């Protein structure tokens, strides 16, 4: 009788232990699902960040290079404009919500048409027109007016700063012991034209956070 009672109590204890183990099973399963879900979300976030960085690079890098080249050599290389134009379709394809292609193409066509007129009257250089057309492709109708307003304001600021630099920089350098051998960069020489690629590039970079194609 004593052994039977012990067996009964042992069976009851085993049942309780099994129930406790069974109770931990769903909790562990939920924790595992949460871990998998968090991992998937982290991976998706990482991929989205990588895509955004790629798109930003396709826009910012060629614009910045065109600006720098224009300031130093008074020339905007065709390859910088080519990279900017070629990167736009890729950006549009990678954008999850799609892109109003016709609006962007229409904005670029309008900028190019106006630019041809300005070039014909020698009011703008060919490199400036090509860069502005490529930027217009990225900004589209939505920000085309913003681009033009910013470009006008920044162009005036660039002109003012260059005029001041051309006036006072030679005076400051004349006091240097090796002033006779110093050669100012062309952009700081009096009488040289203003590289308008600077204003175009600065306006384009300022608009980058607002562009839908860049996730703005």
For the cut 80, the answer to whether the pLDDT of residue 165 exceeds it is yes
Task: Kindly state the DSSP code that residue 119 receives in the 8-state scheme.
Answer: H
Q: CB neighbours of 95 closer than 8 A, spacing ≥ 6?
A: 55, 212, 213, 215
3-class SS string, 154-211 = HHHHHHHHHHHHHHHHHHHHHCCCCHHHCCCCHHHCCCCCCCCHHHHHHHHHHHHHHC
Mean pLDDT of the chain: 81
* pLDDT for the residue 169: 85
- 205 in a structural domain: yes
- 33 in a structural domain: no
For the cut 80, the answer to whether the pLDDT of residue 107 exceeds it is yes
**How many whole angstroms separate alpha carbon 134 and alpha carbon 91?**
14
Domain around 154: 56-214
- 92 in a structural domain: yes
Q: CB neighbours of 161 closer than 8 A, spacing ≥ 6?
A: none
Which H or E run contains 70?
A: helix 2-73
* pLDDT for the residue 23: 52
- 195 in a structural domain: yes
- 154 in a structural domain: yes
- 122 in a structural domain: yes
Question: How confident is the model over 5-44, as pLDDT tens digits?
Answer: 444 444 544 444 444 445 555 555 555 555 554 554 555 4
Q: How far apart are the first and last CA of the chain?
A: 81
**How many whole angstroms separate alpha carbon 85 and alpha carbon 208?**
15
- Model's pTM, two decimal places? 0.75
| Total domains, the chain | 1
- 200 in a structural domain: yes
* pLDDT for the residue 215: 67
For the cut 70, the answer to whether the pLDDT of residue 174 exceeds it is yes
Task: Kindly state the DSSP code that residue 96 receives in the 8-state scheme.
Answer: T
- 19 in a structural domain: no
């Amino acid at each position: 009788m004593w052994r039977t009672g012990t067996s009964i109590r042992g069976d009851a204890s085993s049942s309780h232990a099994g129930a406790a183990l069974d109770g931990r099973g769903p909790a562990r399963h939920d924790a595992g699902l949460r871990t998998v879900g968090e991992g998937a979300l982290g991976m998706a976030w990482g991929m989205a960040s990588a895509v955004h960085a790629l798109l930003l690079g396709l826009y910012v890098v060629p614009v910045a290079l065109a600006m720098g080249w224009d300031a130093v050599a008074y020339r905007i290389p065709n390859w910088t404009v080519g990279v900017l134009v070629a990167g736009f379709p890729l950006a549009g394809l990678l954008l999850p919500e799609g892109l109003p292609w016709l609006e962007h193409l229409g904005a670029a066509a309008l900028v190019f048409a106006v630019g041809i007129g300005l070039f014909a009257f020698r009011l703008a250089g060919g490199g400036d027109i090509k860069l502005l057309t490529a930027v217009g492709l990225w900004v589209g109708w939505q920000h085309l007016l913003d681009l033009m307003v910013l470009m006008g304001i920044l162009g005036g600021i660039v002109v003012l700063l260059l005029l001041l630099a051309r006036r006072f920089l030679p005076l400051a350098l004349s006091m240097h012991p090796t002033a006779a051998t110093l050669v100012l960069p062309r952009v700081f020489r009096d009488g040289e034209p203003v590289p308008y690629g600077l204003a175009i590039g600065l306006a384009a970079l300022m608009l980058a956070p607002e562009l839908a194609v860049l996730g703005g």
